[in-house]
Amino acid sequence: MYRYKDVNLKEVKKPSKDVLAKLHSLTEKKGRIAVIEPESGEYFLGKTLTEAIKKAKAAYPGKVFYSIRIGYSFVHEHKGGMKRL
């Protein structure tokens, strides 16, 4: 099992469907990153993941967050290939 700083990634909670629907309905914010504290439903917006996570960690130090890109089904996309060695 993969662990990052003693946080089991399977323990990361997904926000409620209502919170996700509300964020995806913010069409004027399409493309922005939303970092969500799943238990409270509070979210923090930024142009980058770093900007949004800094805001979230200031409000909820030590918490694990869920992130989305508003209007998309992913936060980051990998374009390109990998060479075999």
Q: Which residues contact 18 (CB under 8 A, 6 or more apart)?
A: 41
How much is the pLDDT for 79? Answer: 66
From first to last of the 85 residues of the chain, give the pLDDT tens digit. 444 555 555 667 889 999 999 999 999 999 999 999 999 999 999 999 999 999 999 999 989 899 999 998 878 766 666 666 6
Token reading at 13: 């909670």
45 beta partners: 34
Q: Which residues contact 26 (CB under 8 A, 6 or more apart)?
A: 32, 70
Neighbours of 36 (CB within 10 A): 23
How much is the pLDDT for 1? Answer: 43
Angle at Cα 35 formed by Cα 52 and Cα 4, nearest 5°? 95
